[in-house]
């Protein structure tokens, strides 16, 4: 099923405040486990997909 | 008397031809019973138009014969209706059919009406000719047999190639390189969640579709064709996912050089043999067929690579 809402980066999740910035909502977390959990919840809520940028930043993208 | 007999016989043969072609298959379309009524009624109209053409010409009623031309407009409408219906249902599909598949199905529905009309036309000619030499029952029998053979031949000709005819389909290993989901050396997507990665590794099946020649390679690259494969595979084996779980949406990604297609899927029934069979039996969409080898440029490109 497809949503009509906008595509693009919905949110960013990271432990390091220096890595991110910009327009999308940013969620700071304190551990890897928390990052996983927050990412999963956000993904289910926004119907977006979690992507790992490899530098500790997760982004939620709606395709 | 011959004219009436011929029209009735031909209409009925055309109608049964349409009924024979109307098989509910795994595409679940047309849906029973409303879809049946719609298509059988249109099939009857098509058959009647085909059946009256020759008798009308024989009594020099040329106006009636031109109604055959009107039929074409009617049945183009059928294609439009099918396309609209399927497109409207598309957002409600877990794994959509894709525009290519919808267009293919719509075309088949239009074509089948022409086949029903053509069968009726042929039957009426056979009945009229036979009735010149033999009694009416024999003429009717001859018409029915002739019509049945024609339907059987035409229907056989309408079956196009399948994915298995164009490509070698085999199971393949799923693995992760960092967050990248890979099937052999083809990247499918970036999966961020560790839980999703574990689940894909544990329950997923990798499929590799390797085209046999440059023609197949170009055909399978078509996005509509790929979506059709995904839709058929998931409608036959199911898919373990729900709305809002994009990690588990099956995707077909292409190797840029070899043109091989790779898929990672968590099917409802974990059975690799059945999954491969479902992929092999997916029809090749008429609209996705490419034949670069039929051209001089294509053949030259195939022979030598700089």
ipTM at complex level: 0.85
For residue B190, list chain A residues with Cβ-Cβ distance below 8 A: 51-52
| CA distance, residue B161 to nearest chain A CA (Å) | 30
The total number of structural domains in chain A stands at 1
Q: What is the pLDDT of residue A51?
A: 93
State whether residue B63 sits within 8 Å of chain A by CB.
no
Please give the structure tokens belonging to residue B126. Answer: 């056979």
Of residues B91, B192, B195, nearest to A2 (C-beta)? B91
For residue A5, the model assigns a pLDDT of 62
pLDDT of residue A52: 92
* A22, pLDDT greater than 50: yes
Instruction: Give residue-wise pLDDT tens across range B197-233.
Output: 999 999 999 999 999 998 899 999 999 999 999 999 9
A38: containing domain: 8-62
Contact flag A49-B91 (C-beta cutoff 8 Å): no
> Are residues B178 and A39, on separate chains, in Cβ contact within 8 Å?
no
Judge whether A48 lies within some domain.
yes
Cβ distance A50 to B192 less than 8 Å, yes or no, reads yes
**Which two structure tokens, joined as six digits, stand for B97?**
């059919």
Q: Does residue A46 lie within any of the structural domains?
A: yes
| pLDDT beneath 50, residues of chain B | none
pLDDT at A1: 42
> What is the rounded distance in angstroms from the CA atom of residue B104 to the CA atom of residue B89?
16
pLDDT at res. B30: 64
What pLDDT is recorded for position B188? 93
The band of A2, judged by pLDDT with boundaries at 50, 70 and 90, is: very low
pLDDT digits (tens, 9 = 90+) for B119-168: 998 988 888 888 888 888 888 888 888 899 998 888 888 888 889 999 99
Q: List chain A residues with CB under 8 Å of B91.
A: 1-2
Q: What is the pLDDT of residue B25?
A: 64
Q: Are strands B186-190 and A58-62 parallel, antiparallel or unpaired?
A: unpaired
Establish if A18 belongs to a structural domain.
Answer: yes
Residues of A in contact with B189 (CB under 8 A): 49
pLDDT of residue B208: 94
Residue A50 reports pLDDT greater than 90: yes
Nearest CA in chain B to A37: B193
Report the pLDDT averaged over residues A25-39. 92
Element (H, E) at B251: strand B251-254
Q: Is A2 domain-assigned?
A: no
**In the predicted model, what is the mean pLDDT of chain A?**
86
Q: Is residue A1 part of a domain?
A: no
């Amino acid at each position: 099923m497809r949503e009509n809402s906008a595509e693009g980066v919905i949110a960013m999740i990271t432990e390091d405040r220096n890595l991110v910035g910009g327009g999308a909502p940013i969620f700071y977390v304190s551990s890897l486990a928390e990052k996983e959990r927050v990412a999963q919840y956000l993904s289910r809520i926004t119907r977006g997909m979690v992507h790992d940028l490899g530098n500790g930043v997760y982004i939620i993208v709606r395709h | 008397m011959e004219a009436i007999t011929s029209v009735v016989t031909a209409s009925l043969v055309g109608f049964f031809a349409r009924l024979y072609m109307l098989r509910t298959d795994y595409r679940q379309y047309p849906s029973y019973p409303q879809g049946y009524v719609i298509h059988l009624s249109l099939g009857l109209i098509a058959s009647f138009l085909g059946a009256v053409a020759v008798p009308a010409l024989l009594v020099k009623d040329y106006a009636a014969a031109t109604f055959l031309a009107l039929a074409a407009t009617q049945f183009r409408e059928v294609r439009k209706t099918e396309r609209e219906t399927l497109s409207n249902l598309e957002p409600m599909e877990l794994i959509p059919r894709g525009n290519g598949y919808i267009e293919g199905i719509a075309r088949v529905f239009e074509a089948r009406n022409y086949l029903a009309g053509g069968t009726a036309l042929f039957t009426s000619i056979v009945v009229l000719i036979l009735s010149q030499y033999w009694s009416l029952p024999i003429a009717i029998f001859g018409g029915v047999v002739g019509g049945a053979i024609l339907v059987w031949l035409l229907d056989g000709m309408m079956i196009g190639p399948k994915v298995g005819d164009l490509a070698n389909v085999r199971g393949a290993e799923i693995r992760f390189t960092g967050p990248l989901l890979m099937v052999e050396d083809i990247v499918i997507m970036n999966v961020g969640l560790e839980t999703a990665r574990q689940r894909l590794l544990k329950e997923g099946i990798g499929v590799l579709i390797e085209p046999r020649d440059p023609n197949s390679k170009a055909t399978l690259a078509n996005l509509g064709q790929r979506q059709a494969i995904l839709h058929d595979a998931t409608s036959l084996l199911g898919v373990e996912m729900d709305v809002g779980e994009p990690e588990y949406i099956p995707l077909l990604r292409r190797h840029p050089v070899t043109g091989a297609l790779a898929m990672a899927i968590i099917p409802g029934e974990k059975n690799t043999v059945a999954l491969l069979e479902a992929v092999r039996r997916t029809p090749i969409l008429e609209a996705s067929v490419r034949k670069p080898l039929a051209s001089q440029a294509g053949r030259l490109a195939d022979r030598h690579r700089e």
